[in-house]
Structure 1
Amino acid sequence: MKQNKYDEAGFFAKYSAMPRSTGGLEAAGEWSTFRSLLPDLHGKRVLDLGCGFGWHCRYARGQHAESVVGIDLSEKMLERARVMTDDPGIEYRRGAIEDIRFAAGEFDVVISSLAIHYVERFDLLCREVQHCLRPGGSFVLSVEHPIYTALAAQDWHYGPDGAKLHWPLDHYHDEGPREARFLEDDVIKYHRNIATYLNTLINSGFTVTKLSELQPTPEMLEQYAAWHEELRRPMFLLLSAVRN
């Protein structure tokens, strides 16, 4: 199922007001960890799946990537990305992540930030990424953590006084779609457990080189009080892998 909520005016307006939409990568709490998983981008051909406003595309070029292709299904996202980009080395293309088709070995690095949990068939996507990466190329991705996606409610269990008592975990091994609320709207996300993420990458011809469940740093806790909740349950899963 391919969703395009971001081209709905109300949804896009609410997304555009989020801190990570106005402040860029430095306003995204997981960015420093995601950046640490990236290889040296100098001279590399980069593909960004679910590029949104193009923040990662522009970062890659800032690190002297040879070229960057950004893919997104939302025309509104791509319009904003093009307005914010003045660089012939970046090409934005409209399309679903599930539909990518590139030549063998066309890229050195493939990245995807918080988009793949909207993709139903992770196995098919991994095959396409493996195909379009050169041998030794890197695949770096972030998704919502399976502990976060297991229940569609994606919310705490509250006490009588409204205190957040614990994060409920159920149906963890029941993989598949979840109708979740995001920006006051219903969206479909796909829950997979950690083993599925890792084994699918391995079975698709990758070596997993690093995994992070994003434990907040003291700096993150000092900057944003909300990050203290992430000490109680992980919200993000980040992975880096290399094509065999």
Structure 2
Amino acid sequence: MPSIQNIYDDPTFYEGYRMLRQTGSGLNDVLEQPALRSLLPENLTELDILDLGCGFGDFARYARDQKARCAIGMDVSAKMLASARQMTNDDAIVFEQGTIENLAATSFANRSFDLIVSSLALHYVANYRTAITAIANLLKPGGRLVFSVEHPICTALAAQRWHQDDAGNDLFWPVDNYREEGPRHTSWFSKDVIKYHRTVETYVNDLLDTGLQLNRLLEPEPATAARNAKWENHRRRPPFLLLAAQKS
């Protein structure tokens, strides 16, 4: 089994990521989070919710603001969890250190949830099928799973960048080795960040093979009001893939 990476506890990575999120103007805030929330049940009142890869705990606090009964946030990063606890004053929110690869070892392994969310975390997990099976087992009958990952168009090549002309204009986003699933060693805030590439086919079919029903697939683009030179490239190639599914 591949070793589990904890890049968010790397001081250089953590500080870069923290500063990005503090601006509130990154792709997470402008594109990915609005899309993820659009896939949630219309009413979160009295739901038991689990957030896998909870980061700073933003979603857990949002869920409680929407009257969720309780929210558990799990993350591998001690630094992220320390920040999440500092920003949270709610006894119905619990943060726990753990990994998606080993959900059986968590304190909530024998519980079940109405809603499980995971924001941009599953592309760090080596064995997606095993993870989805374990997640499905934590859902109540009728429970929902909503998650986002980096789009396979973006993860296919380790070097994530536009092909440019001599003047520095973005010409096209290259896609290659799409069928060769597995680790990609990239640089983002620090060197050798490991993400796992898999096809859209794998993301969807492995989910269906667990017995979950696919409700919606999104490849979000910037809202019309946000479209400008900064965001236009994210219409030319989608940065995120989101899936919503339900347990029968």
The TM-score normalised by the length of structure 2 is: 0.93
Contact 1:104 / 1:131 at 8 angstroms: preserved in 2? no
Cα distance in structure 2, aligned partners of 1:35 and 1:99: 26
- Name 1:232's counterpart in structure 2: 236
Q: 2:162 aligns with which of 150, 156, 160?
A: 156
Tell me if 1:67 matches 2:70: yes
Q: Deviations over 1:141-175 (max 9, x none)?
A: 00000001000001111112211110001011111
* DSSP 3-state at the match of 1:42: coil
Cα distance in structure 1, aligned partners of 2:102 and 2:194: 18
Give, in angstroms, the shift of residue 105 of structure 1. Answer: 5.7
Greater alpha carbon shift after TM alignment, 24-33 vs 189-198: 24-33
Give, in angstroms, the shift of residue 30 of structure 1. Answer: 1.7
Structure 1 residues 11, 181: CA separation in 2 closer, same or farther (over 3 Å shift)?
Answer: same
- Name 1:8's counterpart in structure 2: 10
Tell me if 1:87 matches 2:90: yes
Contact 2:73 / 2:93 at 8 angstroms: preserved in 1? yes
* Aligned-residue CA RMSD (Å): 1.6
- Name 1:132's counterpart in structure 2: 138
Cα distance in structure 1, aligned partners of 2:138 and 2:29: 31
Structural mapping, 1:23-172, within 5 Å: 23=24, 27-39=29-41, 40-101=43-104, 102-103=108-109, 106-172=112-178
Give, in angstroms, the shift of residue 2 of structure 1. Answer: 1.1
Greater alpha carbon shift after TM alignment, 96-105 vs 203-212: 96-105
Give, in angstroms, the shift of residue 184 of structure 1. Answer: 3.9
Q: Deviations over 1:4-29 (max 9, x none)?
A: 111121211111100x3453998342
The code of the aligned residue for 2:32 comes to: E
Tell me if 1:220 matches 2:226: yes
* DSSP 3-state at the match of 1:35: helix
The code of the aligned residue for 1:23 comes to: G
Work out the percentage of aligned pairs sharing the same amino acid: 46
Greater alpha carbon shift after TM alignment, 143-152 vs 94-103: 94-103
Structure 1 residues 4, 158: CA separation in 2 closer, same or farther (over 3 Å shift)?
Answer: same
Cα distance in structure 2, aligned partners of 1:105 and 1:80: 25
Structure 1 residues 206, 123: CA separation in 2 closer, same or farther (over 3 Å shift)?
Answer: same
Cα distance in structure 2, aligned partners of 1:28 and 1:217: 9
Q: Deviations over 1:90-125 (max 9, x none)?
A: 000001111112445611100000111000111011
Q: Deviations over 1:189-212 (max 9, x none)?
A: 000110100000100110000000
Q: 1:179 aligns with which of 181, 185, 191?
A: 185
Structure 1 residues 73, 28: CA separation in 2 closer, same or farther (over 3 Å shift)?
Answer: farther
The code of the aligned residue for 1:141 comes to: F
